[in-house]
Amino acid sequence: MDIRHAKVTSPRIAEGIGEVTIVADGDLVTGIYFPGHWTKPDAAAFGPETDAASDPVIAGAVDQLRDYLRGERDTLDFATRADGNDFEKRVWAMLRGIPRGETMTYGQIAEQLGDRSLARVVGRAVGHNPLSIIVPCHRVVGADGSLTGYAGGLERKRFLLELEGALQDAGPTLF
């Protein structure tokens, strides 16, 4: 295992989402976290800090992320790995299927999993997504379309949905 991380801030990243911590293991990005992230693992799990520009995996992720935040790219397609239990992985796979510019509710995801009563469990899985933005958990909204429950903060969620043109579907923000 070659786990390391870099804290990244660029003008466009800072303007839209602030600083991010990108975690990599070998050739894979395994985490993107914000300061104050609700479900951020202990920093010791991130390995040593490295310079983003000198690490090809992290530098590639930063380049794509900057282009995405500039509106010059619709998808992020660098190699990733998300560690979680089987249920979380199923939910995260469904999140990847939510198209840019669209949103889904926790209940809709639970229905697709076969049981609408799983909405709260789906919310927990969404909140534990280690690959913010890449696995677009920001595209999940409350049953009434409100912006709720984003581990990176509702201001970031609002920014990302505005960037993607989905905010008109998201309803009022509760913050």
- pLDDT at residue 39 in the model: 86
- For residue 63, give every residue at least 6 positions away whose Cβ sits within 8 Å of its Cβ, in sequence order, or none: none
86-168: CATH architecture: Orthogonal Bundle (1.10)
Each residue's pLDDT expressed in tens, for the chain with a length of 175 residues = 699 999 998 665 666 788 899 999 999 999 999 988 888 888 889 999 999 999 999 999 999 998 998 888 988 999 999 999 999 999 999 999 999 999 999 999 999 999 999 999 999 999 999 999 999 999 999 999 899 888 888 989 999 999 999 985 444 443 3
- pLDDT at residue 42 in the model: 87
Catalytic residue among 61, 137, 147, 151: 137
Half-sphere exposure at residue 129, Cβ-oriented, CA atoms within 13 angstroms: 27
Residue 100 CA: distances (Å) to CA of 3, 68, 71, 78, 169:
30, 11, 12, 17, 12
Residue 137 designated active-site? yes
Domain boundaries, the chain: 3-69, 86-168
